[in-house]
Structure 1
């Protein structure tokens, strides 16, 4: 879908803007996360410098930004390369030294003796004398109009100077086209929002610290635009999916009954309700796109299996895709046992299946002798062909993109899609990233699941924790020991895990295993198998165990530096225990220099094990970008929306979208045409092809 010409300046390369050469383009692109003018315009200021303070020098305070009108009285050239130019100025009440290091000679030329100058910068004390190192501005008094009273501060990158960012933003603002209004005019009047272009200019020229607040009309307006684009795109995508022909899958319940008998427990009321909702979708002649969300251990897997068996009863096939090899193997171990009881063959297909095993699995899927496939992203490789795929189940949806979801769905004709997540999603976010899906929610615990006692301990008490762990393993318990999220560097995290493994191995020789994401598959499998079988009693791990790992005998989890993990991630990790009949414990070791946010996070986790309550608290504490505990995934990484501050705008955008598409389903009206521009502006134009008047 070609982009309208009116938007071309916004999507032009940064290098096309005046004053931006290759070096500056690379630095700005690194700072703003993109190479186009629109990326620069979406890089909002995160602070301001107030230059309105104009004290006399005898009253000037170090540590503050001041704007001064002064006269140059002395200049001292540097005595060495390391020394600064020292230029002394006065205003009749006192003196100040301007310090210019490095290539300061160029700026020193702006300060000849006797010249009157306006200078602005931060004041400091140097050996009892007031100084201003490298003023931000040096101007003749007649050019005072060039000095901003309130100067925006953008996040920079090494080598990029504030004035370079300021000039680049000004150049990008000069390209702003005059676009028609896409928001509901009544809403714009009610909220007293500026127009789009006016709002973009306003956020880059804040007139006070208060103008940076998410609630400021200009910021709220731009956040609403981003949400409206997303809600319209979701609604059109959902509408298109709902019109795709599906097929009615009916079963006689025979295979389900056999699997449930082998499972050994009746479904909980919540599981039965979710399955009934899924069954209604499967029976309908349109495609299913449903999200099954449940707390840690809520029993999603059995619901998914029963849904897959309905497809098999109808004479078709089903597939389950998991995000990691470890989780795919675990799903296969659980599901294959229940399928065997029902006389159904389930094959495993990950990147690790090679040679004859892989060929046999591929052949069985192609000829239909295997009715269920379980695997990783390997399932949607070109070589994988199904005889008749009717249902695709995708586990931990937030780790896959929509593109991957569609690829798996394309492996069959009229494929129904069921998405699962063990990460409870705040209701606010359900309207964003998952707004195109119907939702089933599992609450409560299946029979046999016990609450986990959660205790927080300062890191200084680690010796006591090691002692307590020793007592538990002497009593037959098995213990996960999760190492800290040290940094964004996997190598650093790995080093921390290896160091803890070595330390615990000295206390408990031969009883400690290690598992991390850099291990080869067979070594990881062996470490997990040793722990599951009790050959090792302690498993030191990175967050590779976060999702889905199921060892019912494990009843203790120790999480080091718990303050470094997100709340949802801590809850996921805690869910690795409490799966058996023994009382279970989670020990959170924290650094005593806690931030307020980290303290609230640990208090919340200690106070409740309700994942949905935790998800809402996590959204409030961290905002939407990380509310699922993984930076790369989860809800969309908004550029202009700030959650939770803008949560009310989500419902407004959803309601406005519903009304708009009801009145103008093909976006053919003048406002509809403006909304099409909005979709292009936020690069959601793919859905425009679904409209009749494209």
Structure 2
């Protein structure tokens, strides 16, 4: 796909080419990610001001923005140096004052000549019983009244850029918009009654009322759909590229899986069996697998992944399982070792801690094919880590890795199948946005024997009571996690640090039964603390959120989360999922500091009332918005300028099926609509898609 189409050049030129935008203002605009005319087109007004002309300010609820024609009366200069300059005016029914501070009298006499009529528009409010308009937004001669919009759009601003400058720049950018061929499916456009692209832009930037600013207005909805469509085309292109990418056929008779099933102390759930079946079938096809395995806390994803890894091994190849942290990698290793032994496969681990001769031995064994399955952290990405015949890469907790790393791992072998796992239930809309290039398997059942977790809210005022309960539980042989939000005390933030809490609990509960884990400890100490807790040597583990994901100690039945109101919902759900993993009843105590904000109270109440991760995730999304729920930009969730993932997920789903259909009918985008879609990809700066088409 050759370079950017010429028709788009005016939208990608310097922003200084626009009216009223000099180098200084251009610099200020970069603060809100505006670097070219195209960016201004997608900066939507978030509100508007009614500037329709009225006869009088009389009997209007004040304060209010009003536009009236006035007769100009006396000017009164300030009596004191920093006082106000006042101009008396009369509309058809009432007298009021125009008020100016730091004003130049000669200038005001020129724009407001006594005895003449002017149109003034601005906020009118009472001061000492007299209506006043302080610094009118507009003062116009009657002949120029047409310059004033009846409804004025209000834009997000940044330091050094006023509404006037912004409006002028946007109007100037609109004059550069070319006429482009339609990329939306005609039937879809008609069904939704959407305007053409240019008309949609013009309507959005010249709204007639607040209804036109609404995200569901036809113009705004069409522009949102354009963003979704470009994004979903990119994912669909990546998906078809992977589908076309030659995979390695990994076929297995199921012999190794049968050995593991016999050794299991429980029967896998129907959801687990379904997922294993689908994945095994995927791996037996000549196309590369690119699948997301989504399951709530404790749904048994690790077993499904291991069964998939066995397919790779039985077919004569190797598998790798990547975890985001050392703790999690070692945990996977410990959990999978007995299963690997029952199947007779060679399992090993590689993390950043492997150095020197030990590391070299592992790497050599891997390259010779002597290790069947490797468990590891980021260390697996290093260039000298080579496999003899890598067939399957399993990535755990995908949101901790960027999309780029997912592809990197796939490059470690020829046509490697990729299985991504996440225990963070993702609302459907986000799954579409982030994983639209993948096929999805859901684990929506909990393994049998899992006990429900009783969740209670306790205020910090009852801390000593909680500690006494804990002392009792520990004396009965129970184990507990105690999670704190910060690692060290900070003067500015009133949160108990993990170090302080550890000392306090040790003083109450005694030496030797407490462990401590946080992100700033050396890895060896962290591991020792985890091992002591897993073996039951320590009874209480005081920790930060490093234990959020995947830590599995079946005997731990109590989870205390201190200052729970400072955590996100998904994170609280993950933390709570560390207990309730054995056959005993479990408890989660959410300790909060009163008074709770409305949002804080809602979060904690939702958690107390539900254990359904998907329901919790939907609530989290509604409360916090997409960017926060997933975290960083690197996570792969796109930043849309107009579209809103939360409220427009139905639109996103339409864009996904439309993008897939378009590429199915026209894989190289060479039809009339296909060519228009290419222009859309350039317009929306979907560089990855453009590269995929160019090489495709």
TM-score (norm 2): 0.88
CA deviation after TM superposition for structure 1 residue 675, in Å: 1.3
1:568 corresponds to which residue? 570
CA deviation after TM superposition for structure 1 residue 629, in Å: 6.4
CA deviation after TM superposition for structure 1 residue 458, in Å: 5.0
Equivalenced residues, count:
687
CA deviation after TM superposition for structure 1 residue 533, in Å: 4.8
Alignment of structure 1 residues 242-391 onto 2, 5 Å: 242-251=243-252, 253=254, 255-256=256-257, 259=260, 264-340=265-341, 342-391=343-392
CA deviation after TM superposition for structure 1 residue 206, in Å: 2.1
CA distance in 2, matches of 1:127, 1:526: 73
| Cα pair distance change 1:261/1:189, threshold 3 Å | closer
Bigger shift: 418-427 or 16-25? 16-25
Is the CA contact (8 Å cut-off) linking 2:248 and 2:414 kept in structure 1? Answer: no
CA distance in 2, matches of 1:427, 1:466: 40
| Cα pair distance change 1:217/1:58, threshold 3 Å | closer
Is the CA contact (8 Å cut-off) linking 1:323 and 1:377 kept in structure 2? Answer: yes
CA deviation after TM superposition for structure 1 residue 352, in Å: 4.0
1:172-196 Cα deviation digits (max 9, x unpaired): 2222111111112222222211111
SS of residue in 2 equivalent to 1:96: strand
SS of residue in 2 equivalent to 1:290: strand
For 2:645, which of 635, 643, 646 is the aligned residue? 643
| Cα pair distance change 1:527/1:16, threshold 3 Å | farther
1:584-611 Cα deviation digits (max 9, x unpaired): 1223345666666555544433232122
Is the CA contact (8 Å cut-off) linking 1:505 and 1:512 kept in structure 2? Answer: no
2:89 corresponds to which residue? 90
| Cα pair distance change 1:500/1:681, threshold 3 Å | same
| Cα pair distance change 1:110/1:424, threshold 3 Å | farther
1:39 corresponds to which residue? 39
Is the CA contact (8 Å cut-off) linking 2:549 and 2:575 kept in structure 1? Answer: yes
CA deviation after TM superposition for structure 1 residue 415, in Å: 0.7
| Cα pair distance change 1:314/1:665, threshold 3 Å | closer
2:614 corresponds to which residue? 612
SS of residue in 1 equivalent to 2:553: coil
CA deviation after TM superposition for structure 1 residue 234, in Å: 2.7
SS of residue in 2 equivalent to 1:414: coil
Bigger shift: 434-443 or 131-140? 131-140
CA deviation after TM superposition for structure 1 residue 574, in Å: 1.7
CA distance in 2, matches of 1:317, 1:264: 26
For 1:506, which of 501, 504, 507 is the aligned residue? 504
| Cα pair distance change 1:349/1:121, threshold 3 Å | farther
Is the CA contact (8 Å cut-off) linking 1:72 and 1:116 kept in structure 2? Answer: no
CA deviation after TM superposition for structure 1 residue 454, in Å: 1.9
Task: List, as ranges, runs of 4+ consecutive aligned residues in structure 1 with deviation greater than 6 Å.
Answer: 103-107, 490-494
1:653 corresponds to which residue? 655
Is the CA contact (8 Å cut-off) linking 1:626 and 1:634 kept in structure 2? Answer: no
CA distance in 1, matches of 2:216, 2:447: 43
CA distance in 1, matches of 2:316, 2:659: 40
Is the CA contact (8 Å cut-off) linking 1:566 and 1:629 kept in structure 2? Answer: no
Alignment of structure 1 residues 106-505 onto 2, 5 Å: 114=114, 116-126=117-127, 130-251=131-252, 253=254, 255-256=256-257, 259=260, 264-340=265-341, 342-458=343-459, 461-462=462-463, 464-483=465-484, 498-499=496-497, 501-503=499-501, 505=503
User: Unpaired segments of 5 or more residues in structure 2?
Assistant: none
CA deviation after TM superposition for structure 1 residue 333, in Å: 3.2
| Cα pair distance change 1:23/1:444, threshold 3 Å | same
Bigger shift: 189-198 or 15-24? 15-24
| Cα pair distance change 1:476/1:48, threshold 3 Å | farther
Is the CA contact (8 Å cut-off) linking 2:4 and 2:682 kept in structure 1? Answer: yes
Is the CA contact (8 Å cut-off) linking 1:110 and 1:138 kept in structure 2? Answer: no
CA deviation after TM superposition for structure 1 residue 405, in Å: 1.1
| Cα pair distance change 1:19/1:282, threshold 3 Å | same
Is the CA contact (8 Å cut-off) linking 1:55 and 1:68 kept in structure 2? Answer: yes
CA distance in 2, matches of 1:5, 1:371: 53
> Considering only aligned residues, what root-mean-square deviation do their CA atoms show, in Å?
3.5
SS of residue in 2 equivalent to 1:27: helix
1:684 corresponds to which residue? 686
2:52 corresponds to which residue? 52
Bigger shift: 460-469 or 426-435? 460-469
2:12 corresponds to which residue? 11
Is the CA contact (8 Å cut-off) linking 1:48 and 1:151 kept in structure 2? Answer: yes
| Cα pair distance change 1:507/1:548, threshold 3 Å | closer
CA distance in 2, matches of 1:540, 1:200: 55
Bigger shift: 304-313 or 275-284? 304-313
SS of residue in 2 equivalent to 1:312: helix
TM-score (norm 1): 0.88
1:327-373 Cα deviation digits (max 9, x unpaired): 23332333345435545443333344333343333333223222222
| Cα pair distance change 1:680/1:692, threshold 3 Å | closer
| Cα pair distance change 1:633/1:107, threshold 3 Å | farther
Please state if 1:554 is matched with 2:556.
yes
Is the CA contact (8 Å cut-off) linking 2:402 and 2:634 kept in structure 1? Answer: no
Please state if 1:23 is matched with 2:21.
no
1:34-77 Cα deviation digits (max 9, x unpaired): 52332332222222223337474554554332334443633435
CA distance in 1, matches of 2:379, 2:79: 65
1:486-520 Cα deviation digits (max 9, x unpaired): 9xxx9979965554652563354256655444555
Is the CA contact (8 Å cut-off) linking 1:72 and 1:111 kept in structure 2? Answer: no
CA distance in 2, matches of 1:324, 1:14: 44
Bigger shift: 444-453 or 583-592? 583-592
CA distance in 2, matches of 1:620, 1:393: 30
